[in-house]
Structure 1
Amino acid sequence: MSTWQRVTAAPGGKIGRFVVFIAWIGAMLAAGVLGGDTDELADDSPAGRLPASAESVFADQLAEERFADDGTEPLFVVYQRDGGLTADDLTAAETADTALQEHAAPGSHTPDPMPSTDGEAVLLVVSLPVSDLGESGLEDTLDAIQPILDDHPDGLTVAKTGPIAAQNDMESAFSGLDETLLVVTAVIVAVLLLITYRSPLLLLLPLVSVAFAIQATKGLVYLLAKYGGLVADSQSTGILTVLVFGVGTDYALLLIARYREELHRHPDRYAAMRVALPRTIPAVLASAGTVILAMLTLLVADLGPTAALGPVAAIGIGTAFLTMTTLLPALLVTCGRFVFWPAIPRVDEAAPTRHHRLWAAVARLVARRTRTVWLGSTAVLLALIVGVSTLSTGLTLADGFTTKPESVVGQELMAEHYEAGRSAPVDIFTRADTADAVAAIADDTDGVDHLLPATDSIDGDYVNIRVVLSDDPAGSAAEDTVRRLRAALDAADPDAVVGGSTATTVDLNATMDSDLRTIVPLILVVVFAVLLVLLRSLVAPILLLVANVLSFLAALGAGALILNLIGHATIDDNLLLYSFLFLVALGVDYTIFLMTRAREEVVDKGHRDGVTHALTVTGGVITSAGIVLAATFAALIVMPLVFMLQIGVVVAVGVLLDTLIVRSLLVPALSLDIGRRTWWPGAPSRTGTTTAPNDAERQPVA
């Protein structure tokens, strides 16, 4: 046995398994002592995501450094009734206004209740001492305010809105959701494992191993977020849970399939694992390495959470790989053959399984109708791409939740009955000597309703001009107004900056667009380089990469049709980036598993028989792995954000397309049609035979 085999087989050995158990128990204890709740460190604020070069970030710095801050933020409350407010409604609003002022910052100026001109609404404003309260204190204050607002006549709509309410809704939406997502994902994986293996005992071992991987990953992420400057948000931690679950289970399926295959050949379970583990690790390592390198391309992103997702996901993938190649084999050999009950594998009982018979039939079809299969598969994928035309970009905050939160309801009511931009004015910071010219330009800009009184900086060098927009500050029309403002102000004062929540959204969209154009080509380069090294071929990597890009576009089109049906067809650039990353990086996994096995088989069987045999023996396990991964990403539909739901739909559809069409039909058919040139310039040579390449090509399918 070589050094590689001895090292890689050690976790499944009689002594090595105990070393593994001790190491993992120690790791879990360390994670429990040093780690913490990653949700406590999550930064879900839009401003926390932007690079320092963003104009809205610079505006925030000017406000903090040069202008007096009383530490308050306004909370808006809208009382509204269709057809007009009644006397009881107005009394309830006035009573609530008096009670709300008990929570206002001392000395703050609060306007009287403001009725709308149509008589259907009244607006209350209270200035809360945000700086003094802190995050937990503000949450307690909003909880204390809620009973005041709940006391109103039937049929009256009451809603809190403004930046404070929006941030509170965001935090409430994610509260406890990580645990929900974990349970949903675990149930999905458990059911699929039970269907796959029909063994109630066997499904527990991958779940236990994944649980260890998730706990270790969260511990490492927590330490990096707390001490290493890592920026994380609730979206990243949600994706991380699904990613580790899906990828970890995939690796487990591959190992278990190879281990069960060897149990039919070896009476000793340790001997079976000594063969199975070293033969499984190279493909799993290649897969994990490809995904890790692809994830690390996100480090060049300008958007904070996107850049943070790179190392976070890389840690998750690495931990999943380590767990499934150490802890899982140790658990398998410790439990023995009985873990496969009731279908316990016995020596000399390795008759073709139902799955092998099915995939042998698929392989024969691909071999007999090679060109028809790959042309037909390509036609299906191209047809699905048409669905991309039904997508639209520009997902706004108001449309970003799967269910409309209270702050969005309140903002819509304000937009209907008052100046739409009252709750979130745009801030313009300019030099004092150009303030009048800047104010005149701003007032004349299309989409501006009116200007609020200007405020001088502490040193008198700058002026803050607040602008109330005509449109909903969370909508695309308001974003267009901000862009017009910035373009117009460049002529009057190139140093003038535009900030506020709407400007922050504009900068977020611009940053996402820039990241998309930068990272997508980088992902392609990284994946191609890995395939080049792994397959020692130029043709095969090009073939696989083109197939996976085609699969991504088809997944986007098919996903678009589903998103249109459920009413969420408006997307942002991050959906394109994340779905491309996951589908190309994870999708190429399955072709790696297929093609590495094909390269191994081609050496002894020739190209044609090698490819078809590889499809036969890997078809069942890879399809099972693809279905598991698709189902785990589909679990993201329980998340409250439309973006997360869209990621779940597109990636789940894409993984299924990649598993059932690209890896099962398109890639093997193209490989057979191209022939041995697939491996050019380093084509594998047959051993122990003098058969010419052309003869090998004509050999029948086994």
Structure 2
Amino acid sequence: MFTKIGGLFTGPKARWATFAAWIVIAAILTVALPAVGDEERNNAPNLPDNSPSVEAAALLKENFPANTGLPALLVWHREGGLNEQDYGLIIETSRQLADSPLQGQEAGIPLHQLPPPVLQGMASEDGSTLVQPVPFQEGMETEELKESLHKLQDRIRTTAGNDPFAVETGTELSARITGPAGIAVDATDLFLNADFVLLLATVLLVLVLLLLIYRSPILAVIPLIGVGFAYAVTSPLLGWMAREGWIAVDSQAIAIMTVLLFGAGTDYCLFFITRFRQELTKTSDRKTALRHSFQGASGAIAMSGFTVVLSLLALLVAKFGAYQRFAVPFSLSILIMMIASLTLVPALLAIIGRASFFPFIPRTTEEERELAKKKGKTYKPHDPERKMGARIGNLVIAKPWRVVVSCTLVLGLLAAFATQISFTYDLLSSFPKDMPSRQGFETIAKAYTPGELAPVTVIVKDGGAESDLRETLAANAAVDHVGERQVSEIDNAYSSYSVVLDINPYSLEAMSAIPELKEAVAAKLEADGVANAASSVWLAGQTAEQYDTKMVTDRDNAVIIPLVIGLIAVLLLAYLRSITATAYLILTVLLSYAAALGLGWIILHYGFGVEAIQGSIPLYSFVFLIALGEDYNIFMISSIWQKAKVMPLKQAIKEGVAETGGVITSAGLILAATFAVLATMPIQVLVQFGLITAIGVLMDTFIVRPFLVPAITAIVGKAAFWPGRHKTTEQHKAASAE
């Protein structure tokens, strides 16, 4: 069947028809549909609508409209204290905002109408810093918000006669824009042109690695052509889905999708190309070699592709929006790349033929002898036993227990460090230290109570009761002070309190205060006779949102991780028909994943001083490492399974390791390098994800695949096929004859 399918794409006419079909499809989709980058939505919500903080925000908007909106905090600072000229600039800025509001701006505090003593009293205790709130409409598009903030900066520069936004902290007046609005704009700017830069860097890196590994300019270009066509088809399809509102895509998802497509896509191409080169050393007929290559590699490539696709689709059951937004782009890109590696790449190889490997063209033994004879040289056959893959194969079958124990100890020791990982859900900590909104926050944190940047708003439905909850809220150790009780003018059954924490509102300590505050208020309301007290308290604000983010992330981890393991187990069982092999293939990759987290933490924490990694990293890394790690296991174990039909199992293990060693090592290096490109991005969540995933890929490439899995297979022996039976070619023929 596979031989016939391969002929559909590699025949004399079919190869050109296949190539032309890809060109036509890519061209039509590119012209007719929008590119995925044109449909980015970087402000899509991450929390589901029924999250407590989202419900609280809706209640706040409905009953306290004056307290809602998207605030930009304009931070004025001068070491030694703001002077009269500084206050004059602040007053003039306030007047301009009142007389000529920016696009999307809402009414704010009229600082220009306040008496000088009151205005100066709003400054920090040392008089060095003043925060000027500039509220904008909630839900405002990021580009519109960015334009308004840029206009605000231009006004201030014109009025001041210099650029306080370029002044570092010191004796001159400096200005920074922070708060939710400033953070949103800066986060978008971080990815400005990042897609193109990342794409260019990835292409150049893959090209250089392919040239170094295969030393063939043509061969280095073929996988990039396959990946390029896959990207050209994937991008407009995703753009169309996003335009229709079926999916949402953001800059982060596109960045990682690009890396995944080039890394995993190149791997699939190499799997086929390597098989083709092996077949060319056995037969001089290109067509026969291609058919045999398709027969030998297509099953493993398809299985590997479906493993990754289904694993990534499992993210659809996530409640956290960022996880969901990854599912379709990642799975679709891998699916299309898998199809390209089984259609376009064979067609290109059929068109170019042996010249694909120029100048190191593979030849049969007879052709090598003839070539040596023409050159007047003595033909010296290659000794396969001298290759590194053969040496490793000899080791794992000669001393399997020693190999298993050694690998398990190393991976287990590294995995132990994973238990020490600290997590953070602080968005600001993921940004560069020189980002304006982060600088503004740090200025506020030094001059004021840190919680001033993001107060927690407590909303209660007390039926209009006169009970004051300020004392109850202030009793919490994390609270600095509580604002006056505000009663809703829309519905007096609701009242609210602004709670300012005395710690970083984005920290884990602040997040832990959220359930404590809610429980304390509910208990007080119940004591005051309020019915359904527990369901009459809501907490809004960024700290509450981060707490909900942690809860949703923990839930997604508990659901998606077992689901992915289950899906991969089903696929492996269907492909290998062995419970034993399925079990140890999954367990070895899980151990490798835990070790990657541990080593990643060692490098990030002890090497670079990172106090905590982003809370989303474990699930991101898990899905990729489990799926991609099984890719290499599937490719290698397929080779062992096929060889075990015609030779003893230990010999099959030895030759399987030797045969797949080169291609998997090359593929692993390329995949790890492409993920490592993410470490050059300016946002820490991508740096951490890229580093840990690259480490995991390298562990799979150099420890799990060549040593641990084949050594376990050697120890288990024929039981590796259980409950199926290990049959040789002769036994298969006898069974067919019966």
**What is the TM-score when the length of structure 1 is the normalising length?**
0.92
**Distance in 2 between residues matched to 1:70 and 1:499, nearest whole Å:** 11
Please give the secondary structure, in 2, of the residue aligned with 1:125. strand
Tell me: CA distance 1:107–1:542, structure 2 relative to 1, closer, same or farther (3 Å): closer
User: Is residue 409 of structure 1 aligned with residue 439 of structure 2?
Assistant: yes
**Distance in 1 between residues matched to 2:349 and 2:385, nearest whole Å:** 22
Corresponding residue to 1:534 among 562, 575, 580: 575
**Aligned position for 1:246:** 263
* Per-residue deviation, residues 79-131 of structure 1 (Å, max 9, x unmatched): 22334345555555455555555445476443355322212222223334567
Corresponding residue to 2:552 among 499, 506, 511: 511
Corresponding residue to 1:14 among 12, 15, 35: 12
**Distance in 1 between residues matched to 2:257 and 2:665, nearest whole Å:** 23
**Distance in 1 between residues matched to 2:716 and 2:596, nearest whole Å:** 26
Q: Which moved more, 1:32-41 or 1:290-299?
A: 32-41
**Aligned position for 1:233:** 250
User: Is residue 221 of structure 1 aligned with residue 252 of structure 2?
Assistant: no
**Aligned position for 1:635:** 677
1:469 CA drift (Å): 2.8
Corresponding residue to 2:355 among 338, 343, 346: 338
1:25 CA drift (Å): 2.0
**Distance in 2 between residues matched to 1:299 and 1:626, nearest whole Å:** 27
**Aligned position for 2:537:** 496
Conserved? CA contact 2:463–2:492, under 8 Å: no
Corresponding residue to 1:426 among 438, 456, 471: 456
**Distance in 2 between residues matched to 1:19 and 1:463, nearest whole Å:** 70
Conserved? CA contact 1:435–1:463, under 8 Å: no
Alignment of 1:295-310 (within 5 A): 295-310=312-327
* Per-residue deviation, residues 449-483 of structure 1 (Å, max 9, x unmatched): 12155251534443343333333322333323323
**Aligned position for 1:62:** 59
1:352 CA drift (Å): 4.0
Please give the secondary structure, in 2, of the residue aligned with 1:299. helix
In structure 1, runs of 5+ residues without a counterpart are: 691-702
Conserved? CA contact 1:428–1:497, under 8 Å: yes
**Distance in 2 between residues matched to 1:241 and 1:353, nearest whole Å:** 40
Please give the secondary structure, in 1, of the residue aligned with 2:74. strand
What RMSD over aligned residues (CA atoms) do the two structures have, in Å? 2.5
**Distance in 2 between residues matched to 1:117 and 1:412, nearest whole Å:** 16
* Per-residue deviation, residues 195-237 of structure 1 (Å, max 9, x unmatched): 1110112211111111111222222222222225323332222
**Distance in 2 between residues matched to 1:213 and 1:186, nearest whole Å:** 14
Tell me: CA distance 1:51–1:432, structure 2 relative to 1, closer, same or farther (3 Å): same
**What is the TM-score when the length of structure 2 is the normalising length?**
0.87
1:319 CA drift (Å): 0.9
Residue 24 of structure 1 aligns with an amino acid whose one-letter code is W
**Distance in 2 between residues matched to 1:186 and 1:355, nearest whole Å:** 35
User: Is residue 81 of structure 1 aligned with residue 78 of structure 2?
Assistant: yes
**Aligned position for 1:5:** 3
**Aligned position for 2:736:** none
Q: Which moved more, 1:405-414 or 1:160-169?
A: 405-414
Corresponding residue to 1:368 among 372, 387, 398: 398
Conserved? CA contact 2:179–2:441, under 8 Å: yes
Conserved? CA contact 1:560–1:569, under 8 Å: no
Tell me: CA distance 1:566–1:194, structure 2 relative to 1, closer, same or farther (3 Å): same
Tell me: CA distance 1:423–1:405, structure 2 relative to 1, closer, same or farther (3 Å): same
Tell me: CA distance 1:201–1:75, structure 2 relative to 1, closer, same or farther (3 Å): same
Please give the secondary structure, in 2, of the residue aligned with 1:229. coil
Alignment of 1:456-475 (within 5 A): 456=488, 458-475=490-507
1:424 CA drift (Å): 2.5
Tell me: CA distance 1:500–1:355, structure 2 relative to 1, closer, same or farther (3 Å): farther
Residue 145 of structure 1 aligns with an amino acid whose one-letter code is L
Q: Which moved more, 1:93-102 or 1:54-63?
A: 93-102
**Distance in 2 between residues matched to 1:89 and 1:354, nearest whole Å:** 79
**Aligned position for 1:265:** 282
Corresponding residue to 2:511 among 479, 488, 492: 479
Corresponding residue to 2:486 among 454, 464, 475: 454
**Aligned position for 2:133:** 125
**Distance in 1 between residues matched to 2:28 and 2:322, nearest whole Å:** 26
1:330 CA drift (Å): 1.3
**Distance in 2 between residues matched to 1:67 and 1:223, nearest whole Å:** 39
1:138 CA drift (Å): 2.1
1:62 CA drift (Å): 2.2
**Distance in 1 between residues matched to 2:277 and 2:256, nearest whole Å:** 31
Conserved? CA contact 2:569–2:582, under 8 Å: yes
Please give the secondary structure, in 1, of the residue aligned with 2:177. strand
Conserved? CA contact 2:91–2:111, under 8 Å: no
Residue 380 of structure 1 aligns with an amino acid whose one-letter code is V
Corresponding residue to 1:551 among 561, 573, 592: 592
* Per-residue deviation, residues 384-411 of structure 1 (Å, max 9, x unmatched): 2233244212241221124442112111
**Aligned position for 1:151:** 163
User: Is residue 325 of structure 1 aligned with residue 323 of structure 2?
Assistant: no
Conserved? CA contact 1:385–1:557, under 8 Å: yes
Tell me: CA distance 1:354–1:115, structure 2 relative to 1, closer, same or farther (3 Å): farther
**Distance in 1 between residues matched to 2:610 and 2:33, nearest whole Å:** 37
User: Is residue 111 of structure 1 aligned with residue 111 of structure 2?
Assistant: yes
Tell me: CA distance 1:457–1:285, structure 2 relative to 1, closer, same or farther (3 Å): farther
**Aligned position for 2:564:** 523
**Distance in 2 between residues matched to 1:553 and 1:370, nearest whole Å:** 23
Q: Which moved more, 1:539-548 or 1:367-376?
A: 367-376
Alignment of 1:181-196 (within 5 A): 181-196=198-213
* Per-residue deviation, residues 386-443 of structure 1 (Å, max 9, x unmatched): 3324421224122112444211211121122223333332223332515644733334
**Aligned position for 2:115:** none
Residue 296 of structure 2 aligns with an amino acid whose one-letter code is R
Tell me: CA distance 1:282–1:629, structure 2 relative to 1, closer, same or farther (3 Å): same
Please give the secondary structure, in 2, of the residue aligned with 1:203. helix
Conserved? CA contact 1:161–1:407, under 8 Å: yes
Corresponding residue to 2:687 among 638, 642, 645: 645
Tell me: CA distance 1:478–1:436, structure 2 relative to 1, closer, same or farther (3 Å): farther
Tell me: CA distance 1:686–1:354, structure 2 relative to 1, closer, same or farther (3 Å): closer
1:602 CA drift (Å): 0.4
Conserved? CA contact 2:653–2:714, under 8 Å: yes
User: Is residue 579 of structure 1 aligned with residue 621 of structure 2?
Assistant: yes
Residue 591 of structure 2 aligns with an amino acid whose one-letter code is L
**Distance in 1 between residues matched to 2:574 and 2:385, nearest whole Å:** 31
1:560 CA drift (Å): 1.1
Please give the secondary structure, in 2, of the residue aligned with 1:127. strand
Conserved? CA contact 1:615–1:668, under 8 Å: yes
Residue 470 of structure 1 aligns with an amino acid whose one-letter code is D
Please give the secondary structure, in 1, of the residue aligned with 2:499. strand
1:607 CA drift (Å): 0.7
Tell me: CA distance 1:229–1:438, structure 2 relative to 1, closer, same or farther (3 Å): farther
Alignment of 1:387-402 (within 5 A): 387-402=417-432
* Per-residue deviation, residues 118-153 of structure 1 (Å, max 9, x unmatched): 12222223334567x754332212112223256347
User: Is residue 140 of structure 1 aligned with residue 147 of structure 2?
Assistant: yes
Q: Which moved more, 1:316-325 or 1:333-342?
A: 333-342
**Aligned position for 2:116:** none
**Distance in 1 between residues matched to 2:245 and 2:74, nearest whole Å:** 40
Conserved? CA contact 1:92–1:151, under 8 Å: no
1:315 CA drift (Å): 0.7
